[in-house]
């Protein structure tokens, strides 16, 4: 009898596996969110406090991440690190239900990004070679912060929970030279590394109508997804410094970012768990980007800066390659939005005697690659949606610090929020759900020259 039960359970799992997979596909509404945004900013709490308006003003240990051409104006060796305390919150819709009964519940979940970590490191070193002045720089910085977590009630009780950790980093090396007096040119090579791990626990996700012992009454589903990234691109920068004016322009070369994914789906049913393992490679073709900025010091202690950053993400393409033979490879347009960011900032420096005390303010718009989801209707066979305008958030910044001659510490705080309402109809659900974006970041950077 026990052997028969195990065999029957295995057959049931095989029979229900398409439905279980269908249940996860229906969960796509919870994973297709706009909160994985592309970080177009360089490093440094000084730059962050000025709204990220630092292309023309590029200075110090993080100059390589803004405009490599500015490295040539270094007179000293620079070294520094940056820490970030993120406390972002987002609200989005999630689905949960029983595919055997075609009954689903729709609710909102609060997604949190809450961590304290090393965010950026950098250096810059001037040197002479062949009777010419040069400078080298580089470092490490986080490009995509994927650290998120949320939970929501399962259909049969308990709590489902989803956790994503880590993200994508760039390891960079830059070289700069002097074209003519006051005009520098530089190039930064960025190598993209690391990746993320995502774990989704759907507890009591499926109900079995059976009295056979030890056949389970409910089934837990565990999904583990690990991704590793690779790719290389270059930032080509011009930097100019003439009196009270500084300016710069950077071209971000197109590149292919490869994502190797191992997708494990396990159906936790004692005594014989089952599941699937898929390996997929996504190659995202990123288009050419452009940044430019100007800075002016109209008075001795006052600096004003303004930047424009343009990334035509609507031109991006994604190639999907499956290890499984039955899954066809494809190239598709993700229908992303273009990212055009405006950044402005100001800095005023006070003399505190033992140190200088900078005061900073800034603003930038923070556009998403996604559009608002105004209406969403779906069932087991079809899905339709009505998108609205591009999702954008206004980010306000302020900052300060203490500069002690050869060493300094800077602080910046960034905050901003936005929201919109989504009308979602799914099976027996018809709800209006407010989707929110709420950003709160504290950045601390410290550096020195020698």
Q: What is the pTM of this model?
A: 0.86
Q: Name the percent of the chain in helix, strand, coil, to the closest 5.
A: 10, 65, 20
Residues with Cβ < 8 Å from 280, sequence gap 6 or more?
261, 263, 320, 321, 322, 323
Domains identified in the chain, total number: 1
Whole-angstrom distance, CA of residue 373 vs CA of residue 370: 9
Cβ atoms of residues 129 and 112 within 8 Å: no
Residues with Cβ < 8 Å from 375, sequence gap 6 or more?
384, 385, 386, 422, 423, 424, 425
Cβ atoms of residues 126 and 74 within 8 Å: yes
DSSP state of 52: T
> Which phi and psi (to 5°) does residue 70 adopt?
-75, -15
Whole-angstrom distance, CA of residue 44 vs CA of residue 444: 8
pLDDT for the residue numbered 105: 76
CATH number at residue 14: 2.40.160.60
What tokens does 252 get?
């971000």
Cβ atoms of residues 160 and 221 within 8 Å: no
Q: Rounded to a whole number, what is the largest CA-CA distance in the chain?
A: 90
What is the chain's pLDDT, residue by residue, as a tens digit (450 residues)? 444 444 444 444 444 444 444 333 333 322 333 345 678 899 999 999 999 999 999 998 999 999 999 999 988 999 999 999 999 999 988 877 655 555 667 888 899 999 999 999 999 999 999 889 999 999 999 999 989 999 988 777 788 899 999 999 999 999 999 999 999 999 999 999 999 999 988 877 666 655 555 555 677 888 999 999 999 999 999 999 999 999 999 999 999 999 999 989 888 766 667 788 889 999 999 999 999 999 999 998 999 999 999 999 999 999 999 887 777 889 999 899 999 999 999 999 999 888 999 999 999 999 999 899 999 887 767 788 899 999 999 999 999 999 998 999 999 999 999 999 999 888 778 889 999 999 999 999 999 999
Query: Residue 250: which domain range?
Result: 2-449
Give CA 39 to chain center in angstroms.
Answer: 6
DSSP H or E segment with residue 33: none
pLDDT for the residue numbered 399: 97
What tokens does 403 get?
């500069």
């Amino acid at each position: 009898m026990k052997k028969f039960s195990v065999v029957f359970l295995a057959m049931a799992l095989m029979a229900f596996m398409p439905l279980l997979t269908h249940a996860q596909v229906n969960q796509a509404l919870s994973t297709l969110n706009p909160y994985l945004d592309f970080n177009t900013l360089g490093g440094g709490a000084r730059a962050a406090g000025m709204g990220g308006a630092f292309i023309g003003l590029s200075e110090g240990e993080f100059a390589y991440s803004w405009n490599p051409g500015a490295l040539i104006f270094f007179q000293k060796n620079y070294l520094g690190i940056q820490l970030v305390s993120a406390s972002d919150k987002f609200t989005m819709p999630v689905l949960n239900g029983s595919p055997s009964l075609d009954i689903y519940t729709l609710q909102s979940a609060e997604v949190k990004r809450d961590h304290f970590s090393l965010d950026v490191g950098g250096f810059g070193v001037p040197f002479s070679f062949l009777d010419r002045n040069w400078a080298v720089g580089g470092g490490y910085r986080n490009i995509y912060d994927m650290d998120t977590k949320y939970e929501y009630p399962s259909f049969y009780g308990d709590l489902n929970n989803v956790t994503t950790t880590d993200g994508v980093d760039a390891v960079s090396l830059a070289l700069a030279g002097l074209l003519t007096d006051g005009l520098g040119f530089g190039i930064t090579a960025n190598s993209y590394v690391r990746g993320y791990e995502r774990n989704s626990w759907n507890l009591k996700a499926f109900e079995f109508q059976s009295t056979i012992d030890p056949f389970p009454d409910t089934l837990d589903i565990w999904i583990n997804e690990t991704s590793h990234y690779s790719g290389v691109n270059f930032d080509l920068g011009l930097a100019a410094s003439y009196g009270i004016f500084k300016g710069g322009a950077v071209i971000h070369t197109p590149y292919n970012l490869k994502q190797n994914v191992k997708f494990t789906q396990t159906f936790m049913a004692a005594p014989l768990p089952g599941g699937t393992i898929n390996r997929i490679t996504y190659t995202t073709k990123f288009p050419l980007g452009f940044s430019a900025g100007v800075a002016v010091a109209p008075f001795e202690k006052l600096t004003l800066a303004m930047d424009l950053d343009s990334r035509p993400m609507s031109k991006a393409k994604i190639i999907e390659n499956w290890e499984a033979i039955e899954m066809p490879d494809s190239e598709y347009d993700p229908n992303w939005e273009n990212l055009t960011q405006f950044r402005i900032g100001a800095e005023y420096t006070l003399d505190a005697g033992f140190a200088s005390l900078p005061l900073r303010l800034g603003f930038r718009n923070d556009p998403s690659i996604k559009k608002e989801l105004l209406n969403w209707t779906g069932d087991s066979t079809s899905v339709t949606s009505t998108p609205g305008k591009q999702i954008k958030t206004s980010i306000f910044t302020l900052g300060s610090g203490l500069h002690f001659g050869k060493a300094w510490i800077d602080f910046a705080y960034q905050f901003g929020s936005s929201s919109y309402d989504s009308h979602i109809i799914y099976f027996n659900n018809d709800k209006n759900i407010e989707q929110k974006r709420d950003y709160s970041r504290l950045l601390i950077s410290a550096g020195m020259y020698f």
